[in-house]
Each structure stands twice: as C-alpha cells, then as structure tokens.
A and B are shown apart, each in its own frame.
Chain A
C-alpha cells in the first residue's frame, strides 16, 4: 500500500456548507445495535448523514465497518434500533423507493457470468425500459472499460472488476452509494481511476459513504469522517477537524498510524 500512501492529491475545499440546506436529509440511524452469537458487534450507533459529500468510515479491523454498511443498506437485520430513510422529503417512503435510493459496491464485487456490457445492461433493465440511448456507453466510459465491453466480466482484473461494479451501481442512479473498500488490493493506477469515478459521481449529486483502510485515501476523498471503534462511533466530524485535532485517544492513535485495539 506504500505506493498509495505516497500518492498525494490536491486538497479540495469542503463543500458541505451549501449542500446542507439544499438536500433533504437522506439517512438517519437511531440506537442501532447488532448482536451475533452473543457478541455485540454494533453498539448503539446513532448517525445522521445530512450532506451530499463524501463520508468516509474509518476504524481498525473488526470495528464493525462492513456490518454497519450492510445494516445501512438493509443487507442485515439489526438486533435493535432503526434505520430511517427520507426519500423525496417523505418521512416513511415506500420500501421500493428506499431500495431504489441506494446502491452498494462490495469489497469483492459479485459480477454475473456474462460480458461486461451484459452486466451493465442487467442493471440498466432494472430501472429503465427502454434503456436510454448512451446510458451504457457513458457507464463504460466512466469505468474506462470501453475496450473490454464484450469480455467476460469474470476474466477482468481486480481493478477492472471494481470499476465495473462501480459503474453498475451508478447506472441505478442512487441517491446514496455505499462503497466497501473499493480500492483494496488495487495498484495505484487503478486506485486513481476508481477515485476519479467516485468524485465524478459525487459531483453529479450522489451521496457517497465509503469504507477504507487507507488514511491517505481518506484524506484525499473525505468531506467528513465517521470513526468506528469496537462497534461504537467515537467521532463523526468534518475531515479537516478529524485529521488535525482528533477528539479521542483512539482516533488520535489511529491517525498517527498506530495499531488501535
């Protein structure tokens, strides 16, 4: 990962301020806990994702980051607590609308046993009938996969598969996009391509919630940081503040690159 760490992009100004007022509150988590086999893996998580920026979930291994993401996305049932979605200003939107409002790119994306283009088409058909002209082509271009359109998706490299999964998720035009370590095990070039695509999506108005292990990636992308430790949220603050003056000992150690247990 050292190459990734060496990569230092230009810092961007935080764009939270003007978006806060403009966008409806998409997601609210209240007292969410998850227990599996007697172990409390998520503990009384309260989280409000107000803005349209990029929220990065940081935390040591086993902190419960992936589980939290899955609970937000509805892939696992919390033991207690609620996940409230506000779509189009509705307090209790229909389940289908909630599903349509979000998409997930998993750490190891599951691609269909078909061509790259067919994978995108499969997703597009779920939302559009007929598929608008140029939609698939744009998605291919965004993922830089134009030249691989007819290749079997499962024969692509790791980075190409991640980009395809990202393009597939973005075709769904989600209001919130969850990403679980989208650049894990990727080379620097692939990481750059992925981050470009994420920024483009964010600029187009998609709220991004992203898990990463790379501190430098967090610095590059994050508008704000959620710091998770042993199933609890210890900090939720703007990225600048989190990195310059972390409020907890654990976060401070984590930012310094020390192992936090």
Chain B
C-alpha cells in the first residue's frame, strides 16, 4: 500500500510548512487536553491520595468503582456530557455545547477516574513505607496527603501522562460534545475521523503521525522533568 510512505511524506510536509490549519488544530488539541488534565489533577490527586490513606465505610466500594470507571468508553462519556449540556438538558442554559469548554468537561470526566485510581495505587504504596513514621511524628491527615503527593511526584508524573495520553487520543467524546466544528472545536482526533470518512486515508494517517509526535514530545518533556538529580546534587543549584 502506497498510503504509508505517502503519509510519512505528507506528515513531514505539513509540519515543515507549519500549515496554519494544522497548527490551529494541534494547538486546540493541546489546549483542551492540558486544561482537562489540570482540572482532573486538581480533583484526582487529592481524592486518590485520600482514598489511599483514609479508612471509612464504603471506601473499598469507591476504589472498585474508580478502577472500573477507568474503562469508561469515551462515547458514553460524550453522550452523558451531551445530555447534560444540551439545550434540552439541565445545564443547557450555560450554552457550552459545541465549545472547547464542553470538550474539556468531557475529557475531565473521562480521565478523572484514571487519575484517582492510579494516584490511589501510587500513594498507597508510598504510604505503606511512610505510615509508621507519619504516625510517630503525629502528622495530621491533610499534611500527610500533601507530603505523600509531593514525595510521590515522580510516579505521579507518569500518572498524569497516562491521563494526558488517554485524553488527547480519544475521539468519541469530543466528537459528540464538540461537534468537530472547523476553527472552533476541531482537534487532532476528530480531524483524523473526518479525513478518514472522506477517504483521505493518507492525510488521516499523516495527522495520526503528528498526534504520535506530540505524544512523544510530551513524554520526552516529562522525562526531562523527571531526570534524576544525580547523587548528592544540590537541590538549590540552578
């Protein structure tokens, strides 16, 4: 199939030319997904950590629920958010349907359970090590949660990456609530779906390659952040 080599060349040409339509789509994708990630992190990290260290009735059920919700199909999330934001729905007055905000909401709903579940696991493991010391020092729960989140920061970055990857790669939810409107809510994945339905397979694949490149870039950036300080390096040094 000549589509593969053609796609690579096309992807290269699109990037090299900094095609304005492409740039717009890429930036919107990143903007929407980063926003969703920030909101999800603000909810998911503290909640996951709380689930990890606290004991209350129903906690086990909540853990199972979050683990299960990790597998929530994006289309279902899209439908739920659509029904909420539709003019016939309870939040219709906000007029958010077919806006980037709606896409942020959908992706947030999609990845928050992932962040909660994975954070809970990371923090539970860390707490296993810290619990006695914290108890001995008399650390209050909220201080313990903050300390665990900070000390687990390297593992939690990977958790955030998982959320980012899931959000930027999904198409079902943003297609429904965003509408794939040109210049308004068209992102990488919906553009790929559109080009595929036009039979422009080479262009669709080229866009897919660019999406992959973004994912690689984000991962590379993260590993830069994550780079070990080296033994005995000075924390305050520049």
Direct contact of A and B (CB under 8 A): yes
A104's contact among B136, B231, B233, B234, by CB below 8 Å, is which?
B136
Q: Are B151 and A113 in contact (CB under 8 A)?
A: yes
Measured between beta carbons, the chain B residues less than 8 angstroms from A230 are none
- Knowing A110-B129, A112-B151, A122-B147 touch, does A151 contact B234 (C-beta < 8 A)? yes
- Residues facing A in B124-141 (CB within 8 A) are 129-130, 132-133, 135-140
- Residues facing A in B143-201 (CB within 8 A) are 143, 147, 150-151
Min Cβ gap A80→B in Å is 22
Q: Are A152 and B233 in contact (CB under 8 A)?
A: yes
Min Cβ gap A8→B in Å is 33
Q: Are B147 and A152 in contact (CB under 8 A)?
A: no
Residue of A nearest to B129 (CB): A110
Min Cβ gap B122→A in Å is 13
Measured between beta carbons, the chain A residues less than 8 angstroms from B88 are none
Interface residues on A, range: 20 to 34
Q: Are A75 and B132 in contact (CB under 8 A)?
A: yes
Q: Are B137 and A155 in contact (CB under 8 A)?
A: no
Min Cβ gap B124→A in Å is 16
**Interface residue count on the B side (C-beta < 8 Å):** 21
Q: Are A114 and B151 in contact (CB under 8 A)?
A: yes
Q: Is B55 an interface residue when CB atoms closer than 8 A count as contact?
A: no
Q: Are A73 and B137 in contact (CB under 8 A)?
A: no
Min Cβ gap A193→B in Å is 19
Q: Is A172 an interface residue when CB atoms closer than 8 A count as contact?
A: yes
B229's contact among A96, A152, A168, by CB below 8 Å, is which?
A152
Q: How far is the CA of A10 from the CA of B162 in the complex (A)?
A: 61
Min Cβ gap B30→A in Å is 30
Measured between beta carbons, the chain B residues less than 8 angstroms from A104 are 136
Q: Is A30 an interface residue when CB atoms closer than 8 A count as contact?
A: no
B138's contact among A96, A109, A151, by CB below 8 Å, is which?
A96
Q: Are A103 and B136 in contact (CB under 8 A)?
A: yes
- Knowing A123-B137, A172-B137 touch, does A110 contact B132 (C-beta < 8 A)? yes
- Knowing A99-B138, A126-B139 touch, does A110 contact B133 (C-beta < 8 A)? yes
Min Cβ gap A68→B in Å is 15
Q: Is B94 an interface residue when CB atoms closer than 8 A count as contact?
A: no
Q: Is B227 an interface residue when CB atoms closer than 8 A count as contact?
A: no
Q: Are B234 and A150 in contact (CB under 8 A)?
A: yes
Q: How far is the CA of A25 from the CA of B165 in the complex (A)?
A: 60
Q: How far is the CA of A227 from the CA of B87 in the complex (A)?
A: 78
Q: Are A100 and B151 in contact (CB under 8 A)?
A: no
Q: How far is the CA of A150 from the CA of B232 in the complex (A)?
A: 9
- Knowing A150-B235, A151-B232, A152-B235 touch, does A106 contact B138 (C-beta < 8 A)? no
Given A112-B151, A115-B235, A151-B235, 5 further pairs, Cβ under 8 A: A100-B138, A110-B133, A112-B130, A114-B150, A118-B235
